[in-house]
Every structure is written in C-alpha cells, then in structure tokens.
C-alpha cells in the first residue's frame, strides 16, 4: 500500500468525482448560498472507511484500488494492490486507469467550448451539424444538442463489442469507429415517446463527438487534449490510442469461459467518446476542480452545465447532495469492463474525492456492477463527513437518506454512516444504467 498526505503550502491553498444513485426527478438539496465547509484534520475517521473498503476489494480479488481526497489545501492519496496480476509491481496513486463515463464530462466541455464560440447552438437540431444523423439513426423526431448532453434524446444505447462475451476478444485488437458505433445504434429500434425523459445512452455522446470532430476537423481525443489536457497539465491523462498501454497502467480483468482475460487498453476503446479516456485519480480531481472554478468554461456556461435544477444529470455531469453546504457535488461515475471509477467535487472545487478500482475478475454483466454502486455511496458520505460546520439553514436529505448536519460529531460516526449508506444505496434509490450500459 502507498499512502501520502500532502500538506498545503501558502501557494497551494485554494480559495475558501450503470447503476449509480441518480434520479431524474426532484429529490435532493435546493441550491442556496453555500456555507464554506471547514475541513477536518488529516486523521479524520473517513480515511478508515476508505482503507477498509480497499482492503475488502483486495481480499475479493481486485488488482488495485486508487484514491485521492482533497479537502481545502490538503491531499490524501492512497494506492492498494498491484499494477497487474502477473507478478506486477506495486500500484501507485499516480497510475492511470480507464475512467469510463468521466470521458463524457470531457466531451461535454469540448461541445460547450464550441457553443461559447458561437459554432453550436444547444437547442438546434443535431441534423444541422450532422446532416446524416436522422437517416443513420432513424430518429422519430428532431433531437437537439442539449438533449444529447442531458441524455434526453431517447436514442438507444450502443455499447459496442467490448461488452459482448461473443466479441470481447476481438474488441481487444479491433478498433470501432464512432461512425460505426452510431450506425450500430441506428439498427436498434428508436421508439418515439410523448414525453421523453432521462434515458442514459452512450449513443448520445458518440453523436456529440462526431459533431465536435466535424467542426474541429480532428479526432475527439486530440480535441480533448488541446481543450483540457494541455491547458491543465494533466500528465497522466489521454484517450485510448493504438499501441501498448502506458507502462504504469493498472490492468483490468474479466473472466470469460472460466478463464481470466486481461482487458487493459482494448482497441475498441480507441477514440471512444462514451468511455475511452485513461487518467489518474489526481488528474481527474484536477479536471473537475478547474471545471467548477471556471478555468475551462465561462461561469454562465457552467451554470447551464449544472442545469436543469430538477434533474440529477446536467450537461455531462452528475450531481449529488452536499450536506456540508446545502449545495451539490458534481462529477461522474465510470464503468468499463475491468474498471470502475467515481469522481465527486464540491461546487466550489475545494472538496474532492476520486476513487478507482480494478474490479475483481468477473464475467461481463448487464448493468453497473454492485461495487460501483457502493463506491458512489461511500464517496458521497465521505465528502459529507469532511466538514465541521453545518449550513446556516435546514439541510434537505438526498432521496432515501436521512438528513445529517455536519458537525464535530461526524468524525466519530462517519464509519457507521458511510457503511450503512453503502449497504442501503441500491434499495433506496432509482438506478441508472452505467457504461456497460453507460458509464
């Protein structure tokens, strides 16, 4: 295990990350002027919960668990396990992993930058930017760019060959283009609905990436590099590309026909806008902090990204209740074969948790793994335990959870509260298909 606490220096202090628990209806905090959260000391009890979860994952056969928590100017990073199960070296907190659906947040930034430049109108039909869209997908009616960003188009989700036991081995060596993925979605019946609500679909972000590529004239991975990776100096982040994986990458595994199969860096994920990004937990935190502190997009654009207020999914970001400030955490879950990631960041960017697990080898399954649901619950309650002062008004609980004011007593009760919440997460919440059905 590798663990490190990084203490703040004056220059580093900040100003004041299937099925995950999501619902498309009202059921959480109403935003209000945020009360600054006072960070707990580094020896706070929330670390014990994360350490216990990590040890349990290793006992169940997981190759590695990587975590980074940022509270104010403090950082706690931890790595458990090994980089691969074939006698690999010890995992480090800086090692890259597949981050799945977090790719969607990055694609959304690229789309919204085009909107800021006046080259995309969010409420304009997609066919204005992709002339063949309606013909290829057999859309039952006009679909806007905003509906794609919010997963409100109703377009059937296409997951690709990496998620099918019959084709997964071929997917390790064969690239599938974005155009081919959209065509695959077009072969699934798209039924019109009188009132189309939230319906998570990888196909939405495949279409968005094709728009970006058409307008920028470059592959989506290159656009993400110039829009996000280079400006932020993200040294451990890249789109899956041809060739071998990064040498320090944590390997992921599944089982197929009772045999263990290494699914690290599959060719089918090359330039995949629904879940092809590789990153470190620190880089993911840096990305969401920069996003929420208006360093990638304008403040007005971020406000749009966080809307609509009644939904848990905005424009490429998921939100959870921040009981420290009566505001929200923003981020995204990620789930690709062999890997799961959760990233949450407070609205002001000062409290963050990103956790990645190379899953215990298991057969491919439909829907988000149980482990990812547990990771989401632990992450949310861990961040809710990283403050001492309660908001100045009543705190509304997230759907299915009792309200808890953040106070000094949280330190002593965090372990039981996080554990209980993780156990009850699946039964108390409406679930969303993740990347194997989404990310």
Name residue, tokens 């203490």: 7
Of 61-70, 108-117, 305-314, 347-356, give the lowest mean pLDDT range: 305-314
pTM, rounded to two decimals: 0.83
Segment 328-357 shows an average pLDDT of 97
Residue pLDDT, tens place only, 421-439: 444 443 333 333 333 334 5
Mean pLDDT of 80-101: 95
Percent of the chain scoring above 90 in pLDDT? 67
For the stretch 380-404, pLDDT in tens is 999 999 885 333 333 333 332 222 2
Q: What is residue 44's predicted lDDT score, i.e. its pLDDT? A: 59
pLDDT in tens, 30-76: 444 444 554 455 555 778 899 999 999 999 999 999 999 999 888 99
């Amino acid at each position: 295990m590798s663990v490190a606490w990084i203490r703040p220096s004056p220059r580093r202090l900040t100003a004041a990350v299937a099925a995950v628990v999501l619902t498309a209806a009202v059921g959480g905090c109403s935003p209000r002027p945020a009360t600054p959260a006072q960070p707990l000391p580094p020896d706070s009890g929330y670390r014990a919960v994360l350490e216990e979860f990590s040890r349990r994952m290793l006992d169940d056969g997981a190759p590695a668990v990587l975590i980074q928590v940022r509270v104010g100017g403090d950082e706690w990073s931890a790595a458990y396990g090994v980089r691969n199960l074939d006698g690999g070296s010890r995992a480090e907190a800086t090692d890259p992993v597949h981050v799945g659906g977090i790719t969607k947040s990055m694609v959304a930034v690229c789309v919204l930058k085009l909107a800021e430049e006046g080259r995309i109108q969010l409420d304009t039909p997609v066919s204005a930017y992709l002339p063949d869209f309606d013909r290829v997908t057999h859309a039952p009616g006009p679909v806007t760019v905003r509906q794609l960003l919010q997963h409100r188009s109703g377009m059937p989700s296409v997951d690709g060959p990496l998620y099918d036991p019959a084709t997964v081995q071929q997917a390790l060596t064969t690239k599938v283009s974005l155009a081919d993925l959209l065509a695959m979605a077009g072969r699934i019946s798209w039924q019109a609905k009188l009132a189309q609500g939230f319906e998570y679909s990888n196909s939405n972000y495949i279409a968005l990436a094709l728009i970006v590529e058409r307008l920028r004239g470059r592959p989506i991975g290159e656009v993400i590099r110039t829009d996000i990776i280079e400006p932020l100096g993200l040294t451990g982040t890249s789109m899956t590309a041809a060739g071998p994986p990064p040498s320090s990458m944590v390997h992921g595994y599944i089982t197929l026909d009772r045999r263990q199969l290494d699914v690290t860096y599959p060719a089918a994920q090359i330039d995949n806008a629904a879940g092809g990004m590789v990153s470190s937990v620190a880089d993911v935190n840096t990305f969401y902090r920069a996003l929420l502190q208006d360093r990638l997009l304008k403040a007005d654009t971020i406000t749009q990204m966080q809307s609509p207020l009644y939904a848990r999914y905005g424009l490429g970001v998921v939100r959870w209740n921040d009981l420290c400030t009566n505001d929200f955490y923003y981020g995204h879950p990620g789930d690709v074969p062999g890997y799961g990631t959760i990233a949450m960041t407070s609205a002001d960017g000062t409290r963050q948790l990103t956790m990645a697990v190379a899953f215990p080898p298991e057969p491919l399954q439909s829907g988000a793994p149980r482990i990812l649901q547990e990771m989401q619950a632990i992450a949310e309650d861990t961040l809710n335990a990283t403050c001492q002062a309660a908001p100045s008004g009543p705190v509304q609980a997230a759907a299915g959870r009792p309200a808890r004011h953040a106070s000094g007593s949280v330190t002593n009760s965090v372990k039981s509260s996080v554990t209980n919440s993780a156990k009850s997460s699946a039964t108390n919440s409406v679930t969303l298909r993740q990347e194997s059905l989404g990310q």
